[in-house]
Amino acid sequence: MNLFIDGIAWILDPANWSGTGSIPQRLWEHIWISAVVLLLASAIALPTGALVGHTGKGREFSVMVSGGLRALPTLGVLTLFGLWLGIGLGAPIIALVILAIPPLLAGAYAGFESVDRRTIDAARAMGMRELQLVGRVEVPLGLPIIVGGIRSATLQIIATATLAAYIADDGLGRFIFAGLKTRNYDEMLGGSILVILLALIVDGIFAITQRLVVPAGVRATRTRELRSRPARPRAVVGQPITEGNRE
């Protein structure tokens, strides 16, 4: 507990709030790295997930790829790219992008797949073009799940971006690595607490966003279903209704 208080005292120490390597500077670097990684990973994973979810093709492939990427140890990837690219932000950004792709990809295609096939079929029969189907039907209805994927990816990025300091002079991870090396555990713990706080605040923002993007008409259904739903999910008796689902 004393250590914990020392960590907080370290955070509150005005000496750590100015100059080179100050808390604001490291915090800003951490946010900046996380944002760049999120943008890069989203640019790759969201369109791919949308394509897989919309067409229903390549699902097995993307499950395989994201499962494979998930199995890669980030520290190992970081070391590998670090040896190749040298000191700097290049290696950590690549390693973090690889880390962020699986949850983003899974969120995107799960979001698209969550939309009732009959609704999509009807919209197509009305005369919507494929892009209109994506923009006006699938994205609005799948958005809560897509945002869920972004949320979990962002958390992982923020937590793991501490590793950037392993190979570059950036981010809140600096405090952790420096503290460890100099046995300054106040600094180390202070750095960890800052990462945790940042992660919690960002997660809170995403939690609110996720609620806000539930479409109004769907919210109306949910509340009604909530009242009529049994307390515990019941086993389906007989054949479940599969009509209209994709084979």
Partner 1 sequence: MIEFRSVTKQFPDGTVAVAGVDIVIPPRKTTVFVGSSGSGKTTLLRMINRMVDPTSGQVLIDGTDVATREPVALRRSIGYVMQNSGLLPHRKVIDNVATVPMLRGQKRRDAHAHALELLDTVGLDRSLADKYPSQLSGGQQQRVGVARGLAVDPNILLMDEPFGAVDPIVRAELQQELLRLQGDLGKTVVFVTHDIDEAFLLGDQVVIMQQGGQISQAASPAEILANPADDFVANFVGADRGKRALHVTELGGRRLVVDADGRPAGVLAS
Rounded distance, CA 49 to CA 61, Å? 11
Enclosing H/E stretch for 119: helix 117-126
Judged by CB, which is closer to partner 1: 96, or 137?
137
Query: Residues 171, 56: contact at Cβ < 8 Å?
Result: no
What minimum distance in Å lies between the beta carbon of 128 and partner 1? 7
Nearer to partner 1, 90 or 140 (CB): 140
Q: Other CB atoms closer than 10 Å to residue 243's CB: what's the count?
A: 6
In whole angstroms, the minimum distance from the beta carbon of 74 to partner 1 comes to 37
> Alpha carbon 132 to chain centroid distance?
26
State the nearest-atom distance from the C-beta of 213 to partner 1, in Å: 11
Distance CA 176, CA 193 (A): 10
Binding to partner 1 by CB under 8 A, coded x per residue (else -) over 45-64, reads --------------------
H or E element that contains 114: none
Short-list 119, 115, 126, 2, CA closest to 50: 115
Q: CB of residue 223 vs partner 1: minimum separation in angstroms?
A: 9
The footprint of partner 1 on residues 70-129 (CB under 8 A) is 116, 118-119, 121-129
Binder of partner 1 out of 18, 182, 221, 245 (CB under 8 A):
221
> What is the binding site for partner 1 (CB under 8 A)?
116, 118-119, 121-129, 132, 136-137, 140-141, 215-218, 220-221, 224
